[in-house]
Amino acid sequence: MWMRIRRIRRIWRARPRRARADAGMTTSEYAVGTIAACALAAVLYKVVTSGPVAGALQSLIGRALSAQF
């Protein structure tokens, strides 16, 4: 009888440790994360390829390449 009680206590004490060990994402979380990353990449691409930003980047790169050493 006491052995059975000890075994049950050991099982119940181990449960929170197992729950904490699960630190990964599920498949649905990966899907949502991937969609969010793609949306952010699309927005950044649109911003970087817009006229004013592209001009500023070209100007910056031009000044960096023509710098005197």
Higher pLDDT, 12 or 68: 68
* Integer Cα distance of 9 and 6 in angstroms: 5
Encoded tokens for 21? 């060990």
Mean pLDDT of 4-25: 68
What pLDDT, in 10s, does the model give residues 19-52? Answer: 555 566 678 888 999 999 999 999 999 998 899 9
Q: How many CB atoms lie within 10 A of CB 34?
A: 10
User: pTM for this one?
Assistant: 0.48
The mean predicted confidence, pLDDT, of the chain is: 82
Residue-level pLDDT at 17: 57
